[in-house]
Structures are given as C-alpha cells and as structure tokens.
Amino acid sequence: MSKISHCISIGDMKALARKKIPSVMFDYIDGGAEDERTLNWNRNAFEKYEFIPRVLRDVSEIDLSTKIQGIPLKLPLIAAPTGMSCMFHYRGEKAVAKAVHKAGGAYTLSAVGTTSIEDIAACSNGPKFFQIYVWHNKAMVQDFILRSRQQGYDGLMLAVDLATLGKRERDIRNGHGRPNLLKLKTGLSALSKPAWLYHYLTQPKWRMANMTAHLPHGALAVKVIDEVNEQFSATVDWNDAAALCKQWNGPFILKGIQCVEDAVKAAEIGATGIVISNHGGRQLDGAPATLDLLPEVVEAVGTDLEVLIDGGIMRGADVIKAIALGAKSVLVGRAYLYGLAAGGQAGAGRVFEILKDEMTCVMQLIGCTSIKALDSSYIRLRNSF
C-alpha cells in the first residue's frame, strides 16, 4: 500500500505533506497571520459543539448531495481558491480540480493560480468557479470576467478581505516577497526533499498563469510578485462589488464576510451567496472564528442568499456541524493542500475521500439520512460553553 492510502485522517496527510515538501512551502500552507490566534480559533470553534444522536433509524442509505448556486453536487464540498498551487506539487490546480470533481464537489480557481482559466476548463468538466479581486488594473479584471464566461465557469467568487495583505510571519521569515531570500531558503530546505526538487528543476517555472498578457517577464512568479501585490486596492468598496455583480449577471459570491452587517449588504447588492471566511486566519489575527459567526449570519440572511463557510475544517464531522448550523456547503483549502503536497491528485483525492467517509459515518451515527434534512436539532453547544 502507498503512503497515501495509509492516511486515515487529514492529520495523517498533514504529517506526510511535511515530509514531502520544503519547510518554506509547508509553512505557506500551514501558517497564519501574526500569533495565529484566528487560525487556531477557527479549528477550536468546532469543539464547542456536540451532536444529539438519534438511534434506531434506518441509516443504510446516506444522501450527501446538495445544490450550490443551483448546481447539483454529490458532496457539500467546494475546493477553496488557493494561489500558486504548483509550489506544493507540480500538477498544481489541475490535480485538485480533477480530484474534487471525481469526488462530486466543485472547484474554485484562484486569480493568482499557476494554471489558467482555460486549462482548468479543459482538464475537467465539473462545476467550477473563478475567484476574482477588484484590482487597480481594470483591463485585467475585465479580461478575467470575459474568459470565465467564455469557458463556462458557473460563477464568480469575489474575495473581499484583502484591502492589504495580512502579516504572515512564517512567510516573511521564509522570504516570501523577497525573491533572493526565498530562493536561498527554498533551496536549502529542498535539499532533503529530492522528489520535490527534481520536479522544481525539470518542470516549467511557476507563472501567474492568468496574467501572462498583462504582466512583464511572461508573468514569471518570482519576477512579478511585487507587481501582483501592488494590484490589491484599499479603495475597493460596495459600489465596486455591486458593479461586478451586475456585470457578471449570474451566480456571484462574496468571499470574506466576517460580520452580520456585511452579510446583509451582500444580499442588498444582489450577491447570490457569501462565504463566511477570515482567509483561514491569514489576514486579520483577531478576526472571529467563522463557525462562531455562522448562526447569526444565517438568521439574518439565510433566506436571501446561500451562506457558505470555510476555516478550520479538518474532519467530516466539521462539515456536518457547519451544515447543521445553517451553511449550505463548506469550502476546504488547507486540507486539500496537505493532500496535494503529499501526493498530487491522489493525495487530494484521498482527502476528499476521507471527508466523504467521515461525513457518512457521522450521519449514520446521528440518525440523519440526508444533508437536506440536517438542521440545528442535531447539534448543541457543550455545557462547558
């Protein structure tokens, strides 16, 4: 049996990923902003809740299917947009898209991905979203929208929590944003990871694949990272989001909602969905855990748009808890990146398989046969909280 097949939890996959890729790259996946409080709060929030199991039900058949933005999915899982996936495995975004589509979920391509809009559309015909920003270069944004429409993407996901980059101290120490230091530290930490190093040296250099027509040097990542970071604008406001929503005129999700007030505004501008997200604890350290926000956001807007959630999801039980509290589906990012780093498409696929198996087990043990029937009656705060 392969090492991938020996992984029976996301924790196992994380441990294997640590062994497979340079520490510089592992820290990029694993780390958060400043003291990483919000990163840890996201994970710990799930521990506040316990299930209320029903017994003596026929649970021989479990239905995990749902619809997201009108799109049928076999699993309530969406692969979150994560930038520069080829850093972790040379197959990058393509491997993840194929894995999640095979499992029955949806994929989201990041604007700062190392695979193009067109290449993702060509490699798999499953449900897909494109994650976009409101950037200074308006022509580039318009280009993204046109290409996403031409390639049949099912919706846009606007990231709204990057007025500036969070202080990700692991990445700063490792040289991200300082190409010469990053090269040195990557090289040193890669010496003990020969497979990763081989592919790094023999595969095409990492590029900002969706920006080759807009950036110099063929959009080589190591040469244009400063230009990309300069595109993030602190002036973006609700008018910008509303204009993009109107222009796309289709499923439009705001990712990065962190309070009830903004969830209400998202509904008012015509968004069809939101992702309660603090960027996996990588932006504002001290932002609330996403699961803690979920019930009040659902109460405020749950009938007006679809509420999705990410952050800290490492177990199938976490997915079930989030849906019981009102989420329509969840996004996973770190979990599949551990799998990607550990073993490419097979590793990412194993992550989605683990989550599916754990979700099925939890549903059987709580006596609920369908995601559509899951509600807050199956969950409660533990007495200690």
CA distances from 112 to 82, 124, 217 (A): 8, 19, 16
* Known active-site residue 176: no
Using CA atoms, how far apart are residues 190 and 195, in angstroms rounded to an integer? Answer: 9
- Single out the catalytic residue among 89, 176, 214, 279: 279
Q: Which residues contact 289 (CB under 8 A, 6 or more apart)?
A: 38, 41, 42, 44, 45, 278, 311, 312
The residue assigned the tokens 């990057």 is 162
Q: Which segments within the chain are labelled E, that is strand?
A: 49-51, 66-68, 71-73, 77-79, 106-110, 128-132, 155-159, 252-257, 273-276, 306-309, 329-332, 379-381
Cα atoms in the Cβ-side hemisphere of radius 13 Å centred on 340:
28
The residue assigned the tokens 């040097």 is 217
Q: Residue 325 is which amino acid? A: L
CB 350 within 8 A of CB 13: yes
Using CA atoms, how far apart are residues 135 and 163, in angstroms rounded to an integer? Answer: 10
DSSP string, 239-258: HHHHHHHHHH-S-EEEEEE-
CB 117 within 8 A of CB 109: yes
Using CA atoms, how far apart are residues 279 and 32, in angstroms rounded to an integer? Answer: 9
CB 241 within 8 A of CB 158: yes
Residue 360 CB neighbour total at 10 angstroms: 16
State whether the Cα torsion 202-14-356-121 is positive or negative: negative
Using CA atoms, how far apart are residues 365 and 75, in angstroms rounded to an integer? Answer: 18
Which residues belong to the active site? 279
